[in-house]
Amino acid sequence: MKHYILALISALALCSCSEGTPNQILDQAEAAVADGDFNEARICCRALSDSTRYTLTPSQLCREAIIYAHISEWGDNPDDMAAATRCYDKALAESPDSVEAFAATLDVENLATLNMIHNVRQALGSPTEMLHDEFEDQEDTPTELPNETKPL
């Protein structure tokens, strides 16, 4: 019975995030992060990522990346940072100029978050292939990023 109730609650949350335009869903996810409801934010982002009916712009992909990065700060699931770097990679692959233009519109906190995603991507080299094990296997994590990493 307990599993049924949890499944029902998850389904209802997914329904609230799966309706609307990508910008509306991202707005819901950002509001959830602001409210400290990181599970709701993750559900919204997954609704976008798992759906085949949405094609996200580079700006929307960057917004999603920032949301996933905020979620990763809250939890200990490295899949959230992996999702952030995948979104960022997709945005860069589609239009680096759009990513740069989007970054110019950000407040200081979100720009710092996007720079962190950029630096993680640069440090790991191939973030689209990074797996949960890569985070766990790194015992000697560098405290500084390489000098050749150029922030946004």
For residue 45, give every residue at least 6 positions away whose Cβ sits within 8 Å of its Cβ, in sequence order, or none: 29, 64, 67, 68, 71, 83
pLDDT of residue 2: 52
Tell me the whole-structure pTM to 2 decimals: 0.73
Note the pLDDT tens digit of each residue in 34-85: 999 999 999 999 999 888 788 999 999 999 999 999 999 887 788 999 999 9
Please give the residue range of the domain that contains residue 121.
2-137
Residue 147 lies in a domain: no
**What domain count does the chain have?**
1
Per-residue pLDDT, averaged over 13-31, amounts to 82
Tens digit of pLDDT for each residue in 4-21?
Answer: 444 444 444 444 676 789
Q: Is residue 27 part of a domain?
A: yes
Assigned domain for 152 exists: no
Work out whether the CA dihedral 119, 71, 36, 26 comes out positive or negative: positive
Q: Is residue 47 part of a domain?
A: yes
| Residue 38 included in any domain | yes
149 found inside a domain: no
